[in-house]
Amino acid sequence: MKRISKVFIFSTLILSGMWACKKDEHRVIFQGGTAPVLTASVADSIPLAYADSNQQALKLSWTNPNYQFNTGISSLDVDYNIEIDTTGSDFTNPKKAIISTGTNLSQTFLESDINTYLFSQLKLQTGVSHNIEMRVTAALVGGQEPLISNVLKFTATPYAIPPKVTPPASGNLYIVGSAVAGGWNNPLTNPVTQQFTQVSTTDYQLTTPMIGDGEYKFISVNGSWDSDKQWSIKTEQASGDPSTFNYDLKVNGGNCRAPKANGTYKIEVDFQSGKVTLTKQ
């Protein structure tokens, strides 16, 4: 009886080992891939001109990374992102442009496209030549196993385009309303603390405490309610309380609604893009 038990146990162990080996043989194991090789239709300088905004600026192309598994080359879709940044930032700039191309192995850009990335996204000065870099990142579904291409370097001179919303002629901008300590008083109660800093001719920024769920507007002349000297946002009611709000700027609209929670917010009014952003500090 003991001998029979030993034979049974031994047989069970052998079968278990065979099953484990069989499972190992069918495991799908990632074995790597080859970083995409990026090439461009222009060598060094990217042509940009307002008169030629609808002309092709450049075409980027790259090779398939051929993701490899122990079962062979992957048949899964590979997604690609093009990154554009200034030279020296090493693609760490929070304002860098990221363009998703899906599963395509090339992307064509108009001059207006490149200009938008440099001027509106990276906030580069117009009329001045800048050194920029581009690369492509490949990844499997869900961003898994990213592979980064070589980096291409270019020079480009972005051109100015008319702002989406006309900026204040006065060069000044203030916040007024029940969302700030000065209230709706106009002339302003605290003009110094309610005044934005003019970062550029079209970009104004202010960091200020805001009263939750209060209302506010922007004005350009202290003491004036003239319709062409006040701005609000198209989405007048903020919902929830995320860390960043993003709205479309509107001339002489209804009152804006502050985030529901009290807090200090950095407000950026960008007349160039016609956007207002509130970022909780």
Mean pLDDT of 128-151: 94
Q: Looking at the chain, which residues constitute the CATH 2.60.40.3620 domain(s)?
A: 174-280
| C-alpha span between 63 and 167 (Å, rounded) | 45
Mean pLDDT of 134-156: 94
Residue 60's contacts (CB-CB under 8 Å, 6 or more residues apart) are 38, 39, 40, 41, 82, 106, 107, 108, 109, 134, 136, 152
For position 17, what pLDDT does the model report?
46
| Mean of per-residue pLDDT scores for the chain | 88
Q: What is the pLDDT of residues 64-112, one digit of tens each?
A: 999 987 776 665 789 999 999 999 999 999 999 999 999 999 999 999 9
Q: What is the pLDDT of residues 107-124, one digit of tens each?
A: 999 999 999 999 989 989
Fold (CATH) for 30-156: Immunoglobulin-like (2.60.40)
Cα four-point dihedral sign 6, 12, 18, 23: negative
Do the beta carbons of residue 187 and residue 195 sit within 8 Å?
Answer: no
List the one residue out of 144, 108, 133, 131 whose CA is nearest residue 32: 144
Least confident residue range of 27-31, 59-63, 106-110: 27-31
State both tokens at 188. 């302003």
3-state secondary structure of 13: helix
What CATH class has 174-280?
mainly beta
| C-alpha span between 163 and 161 (Å, rounded) | 6
| C-alpha span between 54 and 110 (Å, rounded) | 6
b/e string for 236-270 if b means 16 or more Cβ within 10 A? eebeeeeeebebebbeebebbbbbeeebebebbbb
| C-alpha span between 172 and 111 (Å, rounded) | 33
Q: What is the pLDDT of residues 184-237, one digit of tens each?
A: 999 999 999 999 999 988 999 999 999 999 999 999 999 999 999 999 998 766
3-state secondary structure of 187: coil
DSSP 104: -
Q: Looking at the chain, which residues constitute the CATH 2.60.40.10 domain(s)?
A: 30-156
| C-alpha span between 211 and 233 (Å, rounded) | 17
